[in-house]
Amino acid sequence: MAIRSPLAASRGGHGRPRYVSNDGHGQWCAVFPSGKHVTIDPGRVRNYPGFNGDSPPTAALYAAVAGAVDATTVIDAGAGCGEGAALLQRHHARVLAVDCDEQAVGYGRLFAPNVAWSQADLANLSGVASADLVCVVDVLTHLREPGPALCALRSRVAARGRLFVAEARAVPSQQLRAPQRRGYCRTELVAALTRAGFRIERSVPVGSEFISLLAEPDETPASSTLVEAVARMKEVGAGEDSQLREQLEICQRTGRAGIVVEASLMLAELACKAGDHDLAMGQLERLVERRPRDGRVWSALSNVARQRGGVEQAWHFAVQATDVDPGCYVANLSLALSAQLARRPDAVEAWGYVARLCPAEVAPVARLARVAAERGDYKTGIVAFERLLSYANEPNLEVNTTLGWLLLMDGQLGSAMHHATRTLFRDPHCDGAAELLTALSGCCPQLVPDA
């Protein structure tokens, strides 16, 4: 998407800059009334006040919580340019804005000079004091795994404090731009908060593009046990572990619905990994009676049915999962897996939804490309892999090589050669890239160096 002309941001508001194009090629600079200037990123990473870029405005989300929660001290975690922190500062005595990006902090200190600023990673906030209110707005959407950040933020919420979370709502038809990795459905966001030790207090409705929740630290022993079980499951995997099973059974016996759901899903996963599909199915059938609108539960039922060889039953459960929770990633994943197993003609479409929900994940993109290629459609995989590469901080040689093969099959020989030579430059011993180069040599020898 081309960057549109910025609005006249310098009019109205303390510290508001004007925006100047550096070179006419999408590079912009914020020039403040003091004469100081900061280079800005006009992409999806953050919204700048008065600049009409790719990132959605978030001021209304901060306005919904500012002053509505009794809080003297506030942390704006992942504060970006500081527009939200400045709004919070009008309603609360002390506001600390935290962001890991040096450019964002530099802009924020000029835009919101009355706010305290700290450059830190959200997963490591040991040097940050606790606060009565912690805000996380349009941040988790950029993270591959929200758990570490949420657990770190849990330790920064003061006793009887609150956490405000607002994240982009996931829809299967979405077209995300790097670095935005995913959106959230409500059940997935609630699950992430529950597994990090929070209890949902209420929703905070603000339009339709974001899911906004107010949560509080869950101080019950069951919540602490669940947090420990989640960490242990990451360490030991889903294999047999008596201590982990005991922790989850303790959680399952509590009266807290959210904790029971997460513990039951994890116990079913353990049973399935151990090969006890009947036990897993029993766990999930009881759970779905309590949570019929949770797509993750129907998805888990589909996964168990698929592993038992019940193709039609797996498809039925997966359809139910996406019907009740259309934006749920795992629901769409189970639908795609079931469609591929049943060799349904809509398997490509199903994998396309999965890849759009999480375009930065290699596995679903590779599945989409494979299923589409089996039908003679190489362009679908090419588009998905090119989007995937936009997320890579480091070159992914396997992805580059696979994309090169797809380009070759689609007849785009020059582009295929580019990816083959680029990969071999970084790793001269990459067999896949060498085979691709050999294939290109056979197709069009004049393209191959020294052929």
Per-residue pLDDT of the chain (451 residues; tens, 9 = 90+): 233 333 333 333 356 899 998 766 668 999 999 999 999 988 899 999 989 888 999 999 999 999 889 999 999 999 999 999 999 999 999 999 999 999 999 999 999 999 999 999 998 888 899 999 999 999 999 999 999 999 999 999 999 999 999 999 999 999 999 999 999 999 999 999 999 999 999 999 998 999 999 999 999 999 999 999 999 998 876 566 889 999 999 999 988 899 999 999 999 999 998 899 999 999 999 999 999 999 999 999 999 999 999 999 999 999 999 999 999 999 999 999 999 999 999 999 999 999 999 999 999 999 999 999 999 999 999 999 999 999 976 668 899 999 999 999 999 999 999 999 989 999 999 999 999 989 988 876 655 555 4
Q: Would you call 164 helix, strand, or coil by DSSP?
A: strand
Position 13 scores a pLDDT of 38
- Are 67 and 157 part of one and the same domain? yes
pLDDT of residue 4: 35
* Residue type present at position 446: Q
**φ, ψ of residue 213 in degrees (nearest 5):** -135, 145
Query: Is residue 436 domain-resident?
Result: yes
Yes or no: say if 325 and 185 are a contact pair by the CB < 8 Å rule. Answer: yes
**Is 442 a member of any domain?**
yes
Residues 153 and 83 in one domain: yes
pLDDT value at residue 146: 94
Asked, for residue 190, whether it belongs to a domain, the answer is yes
The number of angstroms, rounded, from the C-alpha of 423 to the middle of its chain's C-alpha atoms is 28
Rounded Cα distance between 230 and 194, Å, is 10
Q: Choose the final residue of a domain: 185, 218, 251.
A: 218
Which strand (E) or helix (H) includes residue 234?
A: helix 221-236
Question: Does residue 52 lie within any of the structural domains?
Answer: no
Identify each DSSP E strand in 111-177 by its residue range: 116-119, 131-137, 157-168
Q: What is the pTM (predicted TM-score) of this model?
A: 0.91
Does residue 229 sit in helix, strand or coil? helix
Question: Contact at 8 Å (CB) between 248 and 229?
Answer: yes
Predicted confidence at residue 120, as pLDDT, reads 92
Count of structural domains within the chain? 4
State whether 112 and 64 are in the same domain: yes
| Structural domain that includes position 268 | 220-275
**Are 414 and 447 contacting, i.e. CB atoms less than 8 angstroms apart?**
yes
pLDDT (0 to 100) of residue 450: 56
Give 275: exposed, middle or buried? Use CB within 10 Å, 0-12, 13-18, 19+: exposed
Q: What percent of the chain is helix, strand and coil (3-state, nearest 5)? A: 50, 15, 35
Q: Phi, psi at residue 441, to the nearest 5°? A: -60, -40
Q: Which of these three, 202, 218, 234, is where a domain ends?
A: 218
What is the Rg, in whole angstroms, of the alpha carbon atoms belonging to the chain? 24
- In sequence order, which residues have a C-beta less than 8 Å from that of residue 2 and are 6 or more positions away? 26
Q: Are 133 and 162 in contact (CB under 8 A)?
A: yes
Which residue has tokens 């459905």?
Answer: 185
Contacts for 120-126: CB closer than 8 Å, 24+ residues apart: 122/77, 122/78, 122/98, 122/149, 122/152, 122/153, 123/148, 123/149, 123/152, 124/152, 125/77, 125/98, 125/152, 125/153, 125/155, 125/156
* Residue 225 counted as domain residue: yes
